[in-house]
Amino acid sequence: MSFTLWFTGIPASGKTTLSQGVYSHLKSRGLKVELLDGDLIRTAFNQDLGFSQRDRDTQVRRLGIISQLLNKNEVIAIVGAISPYAAARTKNRQIIGRYLEVFCDCPLEAAKTRDPKGLYAKALAGEISNFTGISDPYEPPESPEIIVQTSLESIEDSMAKILTYLEKCGYIS
């Protein structure tokens, strides 16, 4: 049974780490699964997009279409993408159907201290415009299926929370 597991949160909130971990775990169980990392997809296929709300929504919609196609072919799609706007995520939920949202809840201050790519520093210095959480909004999900508090939980605890949810709700055995 296929589904889409969509990781959302501000930059440096843990989306990539957790989505890669869940992907590896499901793959090790012999499940058909693909990982769609928002940054990699943007670099490979969406160079035509900037960071306006319209372009961000287009990126999210494209990821949703790919996820739907994977699901249609019995492949679990795991998506890690900021997806800052609630309306775009809601539209994907409607289109995809078996859509589960994982909110990587991380305070801005904690994300700034992680900043693995140095993007917050550049955004705060005015070198990056439309940066989510600084000069562009992030709309947290109102009712995600799973919330991981990545500044308070270990990676292992967050992973366990996600996998336990998938097992209890019958998405994986």
What single letter denotes the amino acid at residue 7? Answer: F
83: annotated active-site residue: yes
Tokens of 6: 């969509």
Nearest to 143 by CA among 83, 97, 100, 95: 100
Q: Is 85 left (phi over 0), alpha (psi -120 to 50) or beta?
A: beta
Q: Catalytic residue among 2, 13, 19, 83, which?
A: 83
DSSP E strands in 33-162: the ranges are: 33-37, 76-80, 99-105, 146-149
What single letter denotes the amino acid at residue 110? Answer: A
Active site residues: 83
